[in-house]
Structure 1
Amino acid sequence: MFVPGKALRIRLGQPGDASAIGVLSRRVVRRWVLPDQSRKIGRELLLRLAARALRQKIIDGQRFHLAYLGDKLVGVAAMRDDSHLLHFYVSTRYQGRGIARRLWQRVVRDAVRRAGTCRFTLNATRCAVPVYVRLGFRTEGAERPSPNGVLTTPMSLRLPLRRSKQA
């Protein structure tokens, strides 16, 4: 369901990717997230998506997974502590093509492999709640300001327990 002739490729982000991550993230946030936020909170959110801030997050150990079609960055997912999804953006032009699901599956595999994670959390903006529900998340409360002031809904997903082969 992607672009004909181009395979989706996902790789880990490096500090040098911060500028491209910021461009994609700010575009998606301006289109989908800012309409539900105050002007002040919107400005602060965009500052947190600047290349310098993102580069530091990568250096500090947050794992950014980047989805490419050809050489075009079309999706970003960032995880903290192998359990909390911080950023999850797919370029507006490429939404509805299964990229978010493939990117999420890669993030989950990585967290399970690295840390044995079985429960994931996130704070979803209003427009993203339906996307996360389709990925299996459940709401954990009402919409409220996050610590940084962005209006979000807390959500979580618990992976099914795997049965051991000896059972």
Structure 2
Amino acid sequence: MEITIRPGIEADAPAISGLIIGLSHFYIADPASPDAQDFLATLAPEAVSARITAPNFRHYVAMDDTQLCGFAAVRDGSHLYHLFVRSDLHGRGLARALWLRILADLEGVERFTVNSSLFAVPVYERLGFVATAAPQTDAVPAFVSMAYRRGS
């Protein structure tokens, strides 16, 4: 299977939304809670579409011949807002490929941040991110603030 990475477009919003919401069991402990419902609403196709067209976001999609395999978004040029890979493709280097594309496109940026779900912390550590604060377990979803510095 050959995967290509390209800029995300507004027409990708439903597939991106479906991917992220479909993986919510990895990052939301109680999806029925009101806080989780509020958060999940920010992942609806309309919300994703609004971010895709927003000037302060860059979106990347990884596609095989027929469907979305992964997705990444950067906000304000240095905050990794989302990085998701289909669960059947975990551990195959797709997150790294998306990350390397971001680094290549934003070569002048020295420092990136991310709010990693607790599940994804090991992935971000393998990509070179380090925790900058204790886990925020009262948030929905719970997260760890992390940073990446080129050359570190």
Following superposition of structure 1 onto structure 2, how do residues 89-128 of structure 1 map, counting pairs within 5 Å? 89-112=84-107, 116-128=108-120
In the alignment, which of 8, 12, 25 is matched to residue 13 of structure 1? 8
Q: Which residue of 2 aligns with 1:40?
A: 34
Is 1:142 aligned to 2:104, yes or no?
A: no
Q: What do the CA deviations read for 1:68-124 (whole angstroms, capped 9, x no partner)? A: 122210100000012001111001111111111111100111122xxx101000101
Amino acid at match of 1:106: R
In the alignment, which of 133, 157, 162 is matched to residue 148 of structure 2? 157
Amino acid at match of 2:34: K
**Contact 1:36–1:126 (Cα < 8 Å) also in 2:** no
| TM-score normalised by length of structure 2 | 0.92
In the alignment, which of 69, 74, 98 is matched to residue 74 of structure 1? 69
Distance in 2 between residues matched to 1:9 and 1:101, nearest whole Å = 13
Distance 1:27 1:117, change over 3 A: same
Distance in 1 between residues matched to 2:16 and 2:126, nearest whole Å = 24
State which structure, 1 or 2, has the greater radius of gyration over its C-alpha atoms: 1
Q: What do the CA deviations read for 1:111-145 (whole angstroms, capped 9, x no partner)? A: 22xxx101000101110101100111000010116
The offset of 1:38, in angstroms, is 7.6
Two-structure CA RMSD over aligned residues (Å): 1.8
| TM-score normalised by length of structure 1 | 0.84
**Which sections of structure 2, spanning at least 5 residues, go unmatched?**
none
Amino acid at match of 1:157: Y
The offset of 1:45, in angstroms, is 1.9
Corresponding residue SS for 1:64: strand
Distance in 1 between residues matched to 2:30 and 2:106, nearest whole Å = 30
Corresponding residue SS for 1:117: coil
Q: Which residue of 2 aligns with 1:3?
A: none
Distance 1:142 1:38, change over 3 A: farther
Aligned length: 151
* Bigger mean CA offset, 41-50 vs 75-84: 41-50
State, as a whole percentage, how many aligned pairs show the same letter: 35
**Contact 2:27–2:141 (Cα < 8 Å) also in 1:** no
Following superposition of structure 1 onto structure 2, how do residues 57-68 of structure 1 map, counting pairs within 5 Å? 57-61=51-55, 62-68=57-63
**Which sections of structure 1, spanning at least 5 residues, go unmatched?**
1-5, 162-167
**Contact 1:37–1:150 (Cα < 8 Å) also in 2:** no
Distance in 1 between residues matched to 2:18 and 2:140, nearest whole Å = 22
The offset of 1:150, in angstroms, is 2.9
